[in-house]
C-alpha cells in the first residue's frame, strides 16, 4: 500500500483527493492536514465521507508527515508548496502539487504573474508538468509533479492534436472558457457567495488570468514555436464542470472527417480522453465526478476555423483526478486505478 498524505485536505480539491484516495485499492491515507480545522473529525467538515474517513484533520508537522508518507499531495494556494517540495525531495519521497508553484518553468514568469517570490527555483528543473496524456514518460520517472490548472487541461488536450501537427496558425488561438464555481475553492468571497453567483453569468480576469502563461508555455512545447493566445475565463452558475470553446485558423485545408480522424488517432490509446462520436457534443454534466475529458471538433468551413469543445469535471480531470492519475504513473500502477468512475447523470 502506498502511504499518501494530503496537505490542505479541507479545500475542495483536497476533499476530492480524499474521496478518490479513500476508495483507491493501493493507497492508505496516512494524514489529512488543515490549518483551519485541525482537531476536527474530517466527516464533520465533509459529511458525505461519514463512515468512510475516521481520521481527524491535523496540523502540519512537515518533517514527520513526509517521513511517514510515500507520496504527498499539496492542495494549497500558490506560494505554499515550495518549502514542502524541498522537504519531500530531501527525504526522497514523491509529491504531486495541485497548486501553481511548479507549473511555470521560468522563475521570472512565475514571479511576474503570481506576484510572489519563488523560494525554491533550484527545484524547478526537476518538476514535471503533469498533463498525463502529453507527458506520461517524464511523469513516470519524476518525483515532483506540477499538476496542471483546470483551464490549461481543457485547452491543451483540445489543441494538442492540431498544434502538434502544425495544422493551425498559432497566432489565431482564442480560448473562451467557462467554469463551475467550485473551481474558485472553498474560501469565502463575494465572488462565490450564492446570491451573487446564482442566475448570473460573467467573465473575469479578462486578458489577465494566471493560467495564460501556463497554457502558452505548454502550447509552445507542442508547437515548437512561441505561442500567444487570448484567454477569457467565465463563471457559470453551477458547481462542477468546465468547458472551453477554442477557436483557431487552419493553415491547410482539411475536411471534417480528416479532423475527426486526427483526433481519434492522436488519442487512440488514451482511456481518459473521449473523442465523441459525430453528432455528440461535450456537456459538463456527463462528466460530473469522472476523470474523462470529452472532446469534439467542428470545422467552420465559412471561416476556415476549427471550433474545439473540450470539457472536464474541473475537480477531477482538472485537479484531483489527474493528480491521482499522475500518482499512478509515478508508482508504475495501472493509470486507471481508483479513477474508473462513471459520471453522475442527471
- Which residue from 160, 155, 112 is spatially nearest to 136, judged by alpha carbons? 160
CB 345 within 8 A of CB 210: no
Instruction: Please tell me the distance from the alpha carbon of residue 288 to that of residue 278, in angstroms, as a whole number.
Output: 22
Catalytic, 150? Answer yes
CB of 147 to its own copies, least distance (A): 19
Q: Which of 241, 318, 321, 338 binds its own copies (CB under 8 A)?
A: 241
Tell whether residue 251 is a contact of its own copies (CB under 8 A). Answer: no
> Per CB under 8 A, which region of 102-110, 140-148, 162-170, 191-199 contacts its own copies?
191-199
Instruction: Tell me how far apart the alpha carbons of residues 260 and 77 are, in angstroms, rounded to a whole number.
Output: 38
The reply to whether 232 sits near its own copies by the rule CB under 8 A is yes
Q: Of 288, 312, 319, 330, which lies in the binding site for its own copies, with binding defined by CB under 8 A? A: 288
Which residues pair with residue 74 across a beta bridge? 7, 97
* Minimum separation from the CB atom of position 240 to its own copies (A): 7
Instruction: Work out which of 197, 250, 254, 324 binds its own copies, going by CB under 8 A.
Output: 197
In angstroms, rounded to a whole number, what is the distance separating the alpha carbons of residues 8 and 75? 5
Scan residues 28-87 and list those touching its own copies (CB under 8 A). Answer: 43-44, 46-52
331 binds its own copies (CB under 8 A): no
Q: Using an 8 Å Cβ cutoff, are 336 and 330 in contact?
A: no
Residues recorded for the chain: 346
The answer to whether residue 303 forms part of the interface with its own copies (CB under 8 A) is: yes
Residue 252 to residues 168, 222, 259, 291, 300, Cα–Cα distance (Å): 8, 18, 12, 33, 13
> Residue 344 CB: number of other CB atoms within 10 A?
13
Q: Which stretch binds its own copies (CB under 8 A): 54-62, 106-114, 241-249, 321-329?
A: 241-249
**Which residue carries 514555436 as its cell?**
225
Q: Interface with its own copies includes 298 (CB under 8 A)?
A: yes
- Is the CB of 92 or the CB of 279 nearer to its own copies? 279
206 binds its own copies (CB under 8 A): yes
- Select the residue interacting with its own copies from 64, 91, 189, 258 (CB under 8 A): 189
User: Which run of H or E residues covers position 335?
Assistant: none
193 lies in the site for its own copies, by CB under 8 A: yes
CB of 245 vs its own copies, minimal distance in Å:
6
Min dist CB 250 to its own copies, Å, is: 12
CA 6 – CA 23 distance, rounded (Å): 15
C-alpha cell at 281: 457534443
Radius of gyration of the chain (CA): 20
Residue 108 interacts with its own copies (CB under 8 A)? no
Q: How many residues bind its own copies (CB under 8 A)?
A: 87
Binding its own copies (rule: CB under 8 A), the pick from 309, 319, 323, 329 is 309
Q: How far apart are CA 330 and CA 332, in angstroms?
A: 6
Q: CB of residue 343 vs its own copies: minimum separation in angstroms?
A: 4
The answer to the question of residue 162 lying near its own copies (CB under 8 A) is no
Quick one: how far is CA 82 from the chain centroid?
18
**Among 103, 118, 240, 317, contact with its own copies (rule: CB under 8 A):** 240
87 or 169: CB nearest its own copies:
169
Q: How far apart are CA 338 and CA 336, in angstroms?
A: 6
Positions 266 through 285 that interact with its own copies (CB under 8 A): 271, 274, 276-277, 279-285
When binding is defined by CB under 8 A, the residue of 64, 91, 165, 202 that contacts its own copies is 202
Bond into 346 cis (ω within 30): yes
Distance, CA of 243 to chain centre: 13
Of the candidates 37, 150, 220, 293, the residue annotated as catalytic is: 150
Residues annotated as catalytic (active site), given as ranges: 150
Amino acid at each position: 500500500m502506498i502511504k499518501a498524505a494530503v496537505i490542505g485536505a479541507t479545500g475542495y480539491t483536497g476533499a476530492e483527493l480524499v474521496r478518490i484516495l479513500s476508495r483507491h485499492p493501493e493507497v492508505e491515507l496516512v494524514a489529512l492536514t488543515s490549518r483551519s480545522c485541525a482537531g476536527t473529525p474530517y466527516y464533520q467538515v465533509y459529511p458525505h465521507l461519514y463512515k468512510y474517513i475516521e481520521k481527524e484533520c491535523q496540523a502540519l508537522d512537515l518533517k514527520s508527515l513526509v517521513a511517514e508518507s510515500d507520496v504527498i499531495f499539496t492542495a494549497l494556494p500558490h506560494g505554499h508548496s515550495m518549502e514542502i517540495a524541498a522537504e519531500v525531495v530531501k527525504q526522497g519521497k514523491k509529491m504531486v502539487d495541485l497548486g501553481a508553484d511548479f507549473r511555470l518553468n521560468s522563475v521570472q514568469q512565475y514571479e511576474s504573474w503570481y506576484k510572489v517570490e519563488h523560494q525554491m527555483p533550484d527545484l524547478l528543473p526537476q518538476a514535471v508538468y503533469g498533463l498525463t496524456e502529453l507527458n506520461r514518460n517524464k511523469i513516470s520517472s519524476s518525483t515532483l509533479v506540477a499538476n496542471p490548472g483546470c483551464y490549461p487541461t481543457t485547452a491543451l488536450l483540445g489543441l494538442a492534436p492540431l498544434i502538434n501537427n502544425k495544422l493551425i496558425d498559432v497566432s489565431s488561438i482564442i480560448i473562451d472558457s467557462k467554469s463551475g464555481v467550485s473551481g474558485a475553492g472553498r474560501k469565502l468571497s463575494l465572488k462565490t457567495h450564492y446570491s451573487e453567483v446564482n442566475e448570473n453569468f460573467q467573465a473575469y480576469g479578462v486578458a489577465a488570468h494566471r493560467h495564460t502563461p501556463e497554457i502558452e508555455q505548454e502550447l509552445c512545447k507542442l508547437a515548437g514555436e512561441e505561442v500567444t493566445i487570448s484567454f477569457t475565463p467565465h463563471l457559470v452558475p453551477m458547481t462542477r464542470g468546465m468547458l472551453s470553446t477554442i477557436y483557431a485558423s487552419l493553415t491547410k485545408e482539411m475536411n471534417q472527417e480528416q479532423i475527426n480522424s486526427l483526433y481519434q488517432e492522436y488519442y487512440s490509446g488514451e482511456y481518459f480522453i473521449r473523442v465523441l462520436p459525430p453528432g455528440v457534443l461535450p456537456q459538463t454534466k456527463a462528466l460530473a465526478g469522472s476523470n474523462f475529458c470529452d472532446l469534439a471538433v467542428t470545422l467552420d468551413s465559412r471561416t476556415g476555423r476549427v471550433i474545439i469543445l473540450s470539457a472536464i469535471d474541473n475537480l477531477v480531470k482538472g485537479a484531483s483526478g489527474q493528480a491521482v492519475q499522475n500518482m499512478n504513473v509515478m508508482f508504475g500502477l495501472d493509470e486507471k486505478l481508483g479513477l474508473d468512475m462513471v459520471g453522475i447523470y442527471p
